[in-house]
Amino acid sequence: MEIDIDHELAALDRKVAQADEQARTQVARVGRVTGKASSPDGGIEVVVAPGGLLTGLRLSPAAVSGDMETLARNITSLVDRATRRAGSNMHKTLSPVLGERGEKHLESLGYVPVDDEEDAAEGDFSDPLKHLGGRR
């Protein structure tokens, strides 16, 4: 059996172009894909793009009035959580378009679904005002 490589490459090119267009349409429909996380008291809020690029950070006056090491640890913890959420959101956005093989590729890139409740309960988030004896 002879394979027409030009025909096969053209068919593959069409499939890639179609998946690209579907992905662009899906992303345009759902908007910018990000992940967000905030401290329990709302004093620290972070927004990241898939992959973990920090695109937004909001700190309350109370959050920055404390120990900077604790603040840095808390921001890092929140960025990690937001990164997982951004990856999950990317997975939710693109997996319907890419199908099972594409879904596996997304997962190989670290874009996996996460349970928000399980994610929120994970980790040891330090209270940025703990050193002040719990005053708010």
Domain boundaries, the chain: 33-124
Query: What is the CB neighbour count within 10 angstroms for residue 9?
Result: 10
Identify the CATH number of the domain defined by range 33-124. Answer: 3.30.1310.10
- Cα gap 91→113, rounded to integer Å: 6
46-62 residues labelled b (16+ CB within 10 A) or e (exposed): bbbbbeeeeeeeebeeb
| Mean pLDDT, residues 94-116 | 83
- pLDDT of residue 31 exceeding 70: yes
Q: Are 47 and 83 in contact (CB under 8 A)?
A: no
13-22 contacts: CB < 8 A, separation 24 or more? 19/97, 19/98, 19/102, 22/97
For 15-28, what is each residue's pLDDT tens digit? 888 878 877 887 78
Q: Would you say the pTM of this structure is higher than 0.75? A: no
